[in-house]
Amino acid sequence: MSRTHAYNQPRGPDGSARRYLAYGADYNPEQWSREVWAEDVRLMREAGVNIVNLGIFSWARIQTGPNTWDFTWLDEVMDLLHDNGITVDLATATASPPAWLTTAHPEILPVTHTGETLWPGARQHWRPTSPVFREHALRLAEAMAERYGNHPALVAWHVSNELGCHNIYDYSEDAATAFRGWLRHRYGTLDALNHAWGTAFWSQHYTDWEQILPPRLAASHANPTQQLDFKRFSSDALLEYFRAEREILRRLTPHVPVTTNFMVMGHITGMNYAEWAHEVDFVSNDHYVHPGPQRLDELSFSANLTSGLARGRPWYLMEHSTSAVNWQPVNVPKAPGELSRDSLLHVAHGADAVCYFQWRQSAAGAEKYHSAMVPHAGADSRVFREVTELGRVLGEDLAEVAGTERRRSRTAIIIDWESRWAVERDSLPRSGLDHHQEALDWYSAFLDLGVRADVVPSDAPLEGYDTVIAPMLNVLPQDVADHLTAYVNGGGHLVTTYFSGVVDQNDHVHPGGSPGPLRELLGIRVEEFAPLLDGASLALDDGSVATLWSDDLAVIDPSVTVLASYASGHLSGQPAITRRSAPGGGSATYVSTHLNRKDLTALSKKLLETFGVHSELPEDLRERVELTVRAGESAEYWFLTNRTEESVSLAGLAGEPLTGLSKTGEHTLPARGTVVLRVPSGS
């Protein structure tokens, strides 16, 4: 039976398959005495915790030497949790190898592109391709499955932890060997590889597979296709490692779903989760907010994309923070209400679990200044009171939301990992390009208009979407272009932007000018890229301001409408934003530059009006409130999230409040607050 995209939710605390909203945290009891464990479970019950992620960094305490094991403390913790009605998402404990292993086998340590070893002393110091590491880690995973596979507290397996967080790019000899194997599989022959990598350039021709290396520090720009392939390989190598652990777990405990925590957030690009999402029994994600003007939008965007990866089905928020983290330059705490608002925004986008890093704030170690559910100040603290109130909301007010799926929007925004990788490289027309940021900017513009958009991976089906935004789709193989063309010819409205359709899957430039295989569909052809210096800008004749990039483009189809032209610089008078209508009622729009938030919102408004896409929110709530909808069998759940620091009146919105409002009083959405309304389906 194929498990692709199955959603096997862990069993509930009562042992049944009943849907519930899970609530909990990473639990690291090895940092504490037994007296503290007793207090932990008491407070967990008080806070409504029903799941913990356990054993994540416990390897050194479980396997104390090559052939010595100590499960007694973990047995005790598992029993204690079970006796208190708390379920366990149990880690295979392989995330951070113990000192005895790295001392005996320093050949498992990763190597940077400059040839430096990443020594033990932090965590995740292992090569994804090391056969020695794999042998030891798989032995541990097997021992864990044998020991706890039938423990009544166990509801899910948590493979390793945040695979690739620190060790995604390893340039060691093991990596070189595995990279060659991966390339042989991809290309079959050296001729094919030489063609794909364009090795006629700079005398890079290979005559033997053994000559090929990872893109280590070189005299100048490394071969771009080699760099792109190394990113593909690095993502695949870790995925392959995940599969190896997963297969052991499935063999020994076929009844227990297997997951691993993704890191779908703006600054993490290494793992192609569009591919990984097919391999887990349910999608889990970790998310940490970044301060700044798009803080909340980025949270929403990442949660939305996680839902896209889960194909709209419920997913697990495995980690986020109750308040400050410890790894940003300045670690700002969350203001009152933000703990709950941030958590519920993930639920709004389909999370059926709200978990934090971590349960109890550490007294020692690198993360002792990272917030937790139980802070240093103890249970008599605002954080713990907010934690307990959220536990009540999830367990009581929102219980019926569990298991419901995200209602599809009419608009999709596409994220493409390969384009992301291709534009973050060197030797481009301009540095500082950011595929993810461009997509996020469109998302923010839509939120400002009160329009819901789904963020989806580029392999997601597009049927049912009226509008698709595909920003900076730099890597455009013919089959993806065909897919988009069919979408437009079937009546869909496509919007794409600068630096799209530039190269194929080998990073070879499409001849004839970008957007390559979309030229005809868009009715335009870019003759020359004209990136702008940092700080420089151009005027458009609709009053907008263009930064970052411009294109010297020609209209090649007389039916194309020019929506805006450049009004300054040497491109003055030439088209900047164009639209071509397709025969079946669809259209294809090209935006050749980067617009600031206000101008992008104004453009999005015009486009959406033309496409007939409207906000579901009353006019006065748009921009100030994000609406996200989960759909149950007989009702929809409207999550209204306050995007501002002021309260917002919800007068005029129908629906029965489940949380965030008194059931009878004034419908006012508090600053930094969330309201959930139950709206009968079809109303």
Residue closer to ligand GAL, measured from CB, 361 or 500: 361
- Gap between the Cα atoms of 388 and 259, Å rounded: 27
For the CB of residue 366, give the shortest distance to ligand GAL in the complex, in Å.
8
- Contacts of residue 311, defined as CB under 8 A and 6 or more positions apart, other chains included, come to 5, 277, 460
Considering the complex, what minimum distance in angstroms separates the CB of residue 286 from ligand GAL? 6
For residue 320, give both structure tokens.
Answer: 């986020």
Residue number, 185 or 267, with CB nearest to ligand GAL: 267
Nearest to 450 by CA among 643, 668, 294, 586: 643
The pair of three-digit structure tokens given for residue 232, joined into one six-digit string? 């593909």
Piece of the chain touching ligand GAL by CB under 6 A; list 112-120, 158-166, 303-311, 673-681: 158-166
Among this protein's residues, is 173 annotated catalytic?
no
Q: Which is nearer to ligand GAL, 372 or 447 (CB)?
A: 372
Helix, strand and coil content of the chain, in percent to the nearest 5, comes to: 35, 20, 45
- What residues from 260 to 299 belong to the interface with ligand GAL (CB under 6 A)? 286, 288
Q: Which is nearer to ligand GAL, 310 or 325 (CB)?
A: 325
Q: Which is nearer to ligand GAL, 64 or 328 (CB)?
A: 328
| H-only helix segments in 160-200 | 173-187, 190-196
Beta pairing, strands 575-581 & 561-565: antiparallel
Quick check: 86 and 13 in contact, CB under 8 A? yes
Kindly tell me which of 201 and 327 has the beta carbon lying closer to ligand GAL.
327
CA geometry: angle 341, 342, 343, nearest 5 deg? 95
Stretch binding ligand GAL (CB under 6 A), from 160-168, 207-215, 230-238, 673-681 = 160-168
**Rounded distance between C-alpha atoms, residue 473 and residue 1, angstroms:** 34
The SS3 of residue 168 is coil
User: Which 341-400 positions form the footprint of ligand GAL (CB under 6 A)?
Assistant: 357, 367, 370
Site for ligand GAL in 220-239 (CB under 6 A): none
Nearest distance in Å: CB 320, ligand GAL: 8
For residue 361, the minimal CB distance to ligand GAL (Å) is 11
CA angle 268, 269, 272 (to 5 degrees): 125
Q: Which residue from 117, 118, 74 is spatially nearest to 93, judged by alpha carbons?
A: 74
Which of the ranges 157-165, 371-379, 447-455, 459-467 carries the binding residues for ligand GAL, by CB under 6 A?
Answer: 157-165
Region from 159-167, 381-389, 593-601, 663-671 binding ligand GAL, contact rule CB under 6 A: 159-167
| Token pair for 502 | 């530039």
Closest separation between CB of residue 83 and ligand GAL, Å? Answer: 26
Report in angstroms how near the CB of residue 352 gets to ligand GAL at its nearest: 20
357 within 8 A of 24, measured Cβ to Cβ:
no
| Site map (CB under 6 A) of ligand GAL, residues 25-64, x = contact | ----------------------------------------
Scanning 161-169, 192-200, 539-547, 674-682 for contacts with ligand GAL by CB under 6 A, the matching segment is 161-169
Q: Which residues are 8's β-sheet partners?
A: none
> Between vectors from CA 209 to CA 205 and to CA 214, what angle results, nearest 5°?
85
The 3-class secondary structure across 567-589, one letter per residue, is CCCCCCCCEEEEEEECCCCCEEE
Among 165, 192, 379, 562, binds ligand GAL (CB under 6 A): 165
Spatial CA neighbour of 266 closest among 452, 462, 455: 455
Shortest Cβ 272–ligand GAL spacing (Å): 19
The count of residues interacting with ligand GAL (CB under 6 A) is 10
Instruction: Write down the catalytic residue from 245, 279, 298, 319.
Output: 319
Write down the least CB distance from residue 261 to ligand GAL, Å: 7
Smallest gap, in angstroms, from Cβ of residue 165 to ligand GAL?
5
| Shortest Cβ 370–ligand GAL spacing (Å) | 5
The catalytic position among 162, 279, 418, 636 is 162
Q: Are strands 575-581 and 284-286 parallel, antiparallel or unpaired?
A: unpaired
Residues 633-672 that bind ligand GAL (CB under 6 A): none
- Binders of ligand GAL among residues 316 to 345 (CB under 6 A) are 319, 325
Residue whose CB is less far from ligand GAL, 367 or 557: 367
Structure tokens at 118: 């990443």
Other C-beta atoms lying within 10 Å of the C-beta of residue 241? 24
Interatomic CA distance for residues 555 and 551, integer angstroms: 12
Give 512-535 as a DSSP string.
TSTTGGGHHHHTEEEEEE----TT
Q: Which residues of 275-313 are buried (b: 16+ CB within 10 A; e: fewer)?
A: bbbebbbbbbbbbbbeeeebebbbbbbbbbbbbbbbbbb
**Which of 476, 5, 483, 506 minimizes the C-alpha distance to 276?**
5
Select the residue interacting with ligand GAL from 40, 162, 245, 438 (CB under 6 A): 162
Nearer to ligand GAL by C-beta: 23 or 498? Answer: 23
Q: Note if 162 is an active site residue.
A: yes
User: Which residues are 566's β-sheet partners?
Assistant: 540
Residue number, 165 or 671, with CB nearest to ligand GAL: 165
Cβ nearer to ligand GAL, comparing 225 with 322: 322
Query: CB-wise, 161 or 500, nearer to ligand GAL?
Result: 161
Alpha carbon 40 to its chain's center: 31
Tokens standing for 327?
């790894």
Helix (H, G, I), strand (E, B) or coil at 541: coil
Q: Least distance from C-beta 57 to ligand GAL, angstroms?
A: 7
Q: Which residues, listed in sequence order, are joined to residue 316 by a DSSP beta bridge?
A: 284, 353
For residue 161, state whether it binds ligand GAL (rule: CB under 6 A).
yes
Q: Rule CB under 6 A: which residues touch ligand GAL?
A: 161-162, 165, 286, 288, 319, 325, 357, 367, 370
Active-site amino acid positions: 162, 319
